[in-house]
Amino acid sequence: RQMVMYEVAITSAGSGPRSTAECFVTLRGELGEYGPCALELVPTASVAGKEVCDVIALDVGKLTAIVIGHGGEGSSPAWHVQTVTIRRARTATEEAKSYDFFFDEYIAADRGSKALHVQLFPTAKSGRGPKNDGSRGARGEGA
């Protein structure tokens, strides 16, 4: 397997500050799992509440799920995640691919998901797929 670039774009309700905690994503695919990968998210000027970053990771093939979360540290660790879009860069053998995940909850120990990380599954292309249930995913909690 080769290393590939993934663009991670996260939207949240409103344009307020995001979590003060260290955020991460773990990629799960048909070829295996890679992560957790630190997310150094940068707000976009074009869309309020949208942050993006690039992650270089081992190719996991077609994404089947992601685990997204944070370490719970800082003065305001709660993180509202509405949608996650992951775009896998084109490689020598495959075209670029995009995967959408819908959640629209807080990732926080005290509200929303009641967990510091959640496992999300890709939604339908139309955006009308099922809402993810925020099942606990990695780091030893029911993975």
Tell me: the pLDDT tens digits for 22-64?
999 999 999 999 999 999 888 776 677 888 999 999 999 999 9
Residue 65 pLDDT grade (very low, low, confident, very high; cuts 50, 70, 90) = very high
φ/ψ of residue 6, rounded to 5? -120, 130
Give the pLDDT of residue 125. 55
Whether 15 has a pLDDT exceeding 70, the answer reads no
Residue 139 pLDDT grade (very low, low, confident, very high; cuts 50, 70, 90) = very low
Q: Can the peptide bond before residue 130 be classed as cis, meaning omega within 30 degrees of 0?
A: no
Whole-model pTM: value is 0.82
Give the pLDDT of residue 112. 86
Give the pLDDT of residue 141. 37
DSSP, res 89: P
Whether 126 has a pLDDT exceeding 70, the answer reads no
Give the pLDDT of residue 17. 56
Q: Which residues of 29-64 are buried (b: 16+ CB within 10 A; e: fewer)?
A: beeebbbbbebebeeeeeeebbbbbebebebbeebe
